[in-house]
């Protein structure tokens, strides 16, 4: 009786049948990235945690990279796709500069990254997605820009701050509270670290600084003079200073 009813339902009202949804395979995912403007440029910070489901898969992953001499890209989402996207983006910018003898404009770089994201739309529709956060400064100027993206390749210019990844709702609250147009790079780095600390307090997928195990976020600063990766020893001192304020 049950089988005939199911057969009848399949033939007459297939829209009422329970839908079988294939589960997505467990994949390593990169988590929280922040970008914050300051008076001369942008600070981009990424935590070091990667997860598989509710498990910590890595505490050492780097998710923020120099795309070229005056721009940065951070990635969140499925780690394999995300990191390959960041590396391919850097190669394309280098190739363009070698061919043309000049860098793409910030908008041109942002558009090129959007095209790379759009190229992964098929994966994204299956739940296997990654999105970048892009920031840069026009060489020799203070013209800094931050761009975020959705899984379709939509590009959105942000005003002064942005965060992506699982901890982003919590990080954004702190970035908004601490941002200042007159901030120095030192102050912007402190604000970004505090944003990650606050995100880690609320989100299991985000790791804050861990002085005991000497695990610290990856921190980059970009200005009109170029990209600078901040040494872990400097970050450690800043974290101690933040702990002293609380």
Task: Tell me the pLDDT tens digit for each residue of 209-238.
Answer: 999 999 999 999 999 999 999 999 999 999
- How many C-beta atoms lie closer than 10 Å to residue 64's C-beta? 24
174 located within any domain: yes
The range of the structural domain enclosing residue 216 comes to 5-10+26-241
- The per-residue pLDDT for 56 is 87
Which percentage of the chain shows pLDDT scores above 90? 73
Residue 246, domain member (yes or no): no
| 3 DSSP 8-state letter | H
Q: Would you say residue 28 has pLDDT above 80?
A: no
- 150 confidence band (pLDDT: 50, 70, 90): very high
The first and second tokens of residue 217, run together, are 């976020």
Q: Where do runs of H (alpha helix) occur along the chain?
A: 2-12, 79-100, 106-118, 121-125, 168-178, 185-202, 232-244
49, 203 contact by CB (below 8 A): no
Residue burial 38-54, b: 16+ Cβ < 10 Å; e: rest? bebbbbbbbbbbbbeee
- Look at residue 37 and tell me if it is in a domain: yes
Any catalytic annotation for residue 138? no
> What is the rounded average pLDDT of the residues 237-243?
90
The two three-digit tokens of residue 68, written as one number: 């070229």
pLDDT at 242 > cutoff 60: yes
Q: How much is the pLDDT for 213?
A: 92
Task: Classify residue 53 as left (phi > 0), alpha (psi -120 to 50) or beta.
Answer: left
**Which pLDDT belongs to residue 6?**
55
- CA-CA-CA-CA dihedral for 38, 77, 230, 173, to nearest 10: 40
- The answer to whether position 142 is within a domain reads yes
Write down the catalytic residue from 31, 34, 206, 223.
31
Distance CA 194, CA 190 (A): 6
Task: Provide the number of structural domains found in the chain.
Answer: 1
Report the distance separating Cα 146 and Cα 192, nearest Å: 15
Residue 151 lies in a domain: yes
- Residue 102: φ, ψ to 5°: -155, 160
Mean pLDDT of 139-150: 97
* 48 is a domain residue: yes
CATH (domain of 36): 3.60.20.10
Asked whether residue 63 is assigned to any structural domain, the reply reads yes
Residue 19: inside a domain, yes or no? no
Tell me the per-residue pLDDT of 152-211, one tens digit each, with 9 for 90 and over.
999 999 999 999 999 999 999 999 999 999 999 999 999 999 999 999 999 989 999 999
pLDDT band at 2 (very low <50, low <70, confident <90, very high): very low
Cα–Cα distance for residue pair 194/238, rounded to 1 Å: 10
* 30-80 confidence digits (pLDDT tens): 789 999 999 999 999 999 998 888 888 889 999 999 999 999 999 999 888
Q: What pLDDT, on a 0 to 100 scale, did the predictor assign at position 53?
A: 81
Under 8 Å between Cβ of 136 and 72: yes
8-state DSSP, 219: E
pLDDT tens digits for 89-122?
A: 999 999 999 999 999 999 999 999 999 999 988 8
Contacts of residue 194, defined as CB under 8 A and 6 or more positions apart, other chains included, come to: 174, 178, 242
Residues 167, 185: Cα–Cα separation, whole Å: 23
């Amino acid at each position: 009786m049950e089988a005939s009813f199911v057969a009848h339902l399949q033939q007459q009202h297939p829209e009422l049948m329970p839908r079988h949804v294939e589960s997505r395979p467990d994949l390593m995912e990169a988590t929280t990235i922040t970008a914050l403007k300051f008076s001369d440029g942008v600070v981009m910070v990424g935590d070091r945690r990667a997860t598989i489901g509710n498990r910590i898969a890595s505490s050492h992953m780097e998710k923020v990279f120099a795309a070229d001499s005056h721009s940065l890209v951070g990635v969140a989402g499925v780690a394999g796709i995300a990191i390959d996207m960041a590396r391919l983006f850097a190669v394309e910018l280098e190739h363009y500069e070698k061919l043309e003898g000049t860098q793409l404009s910030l908008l041109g770089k942002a558009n090129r990254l959007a095209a790379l994201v759009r190229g992964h739309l098929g994966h994204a529709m299956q739940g296997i997605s990654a999105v970048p956060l892009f920031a840069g400064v026009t060489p020799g100027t203070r013209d800094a820009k931050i761009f975020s993206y959705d899984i379709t390749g939509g590009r959105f210019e942000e005003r002064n701050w942005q965060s992506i990844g699982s901890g982003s709702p919590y990080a954004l609250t702190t970035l908004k509270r601490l941002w200042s147009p007159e901030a120095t790079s030192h102050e912007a780095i402190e604000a970004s670290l505090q944003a990650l600390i606050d995100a880690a307090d609320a989100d299991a997928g985000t790791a804050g600084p861990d002085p005991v195990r000497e695990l610290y976020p990856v921190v980059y600063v970009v200005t009109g003079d170029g990209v600078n990766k901040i040494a872990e020893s400097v970050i450690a001192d800043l974290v101690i200073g933040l702990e002293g304020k609380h």
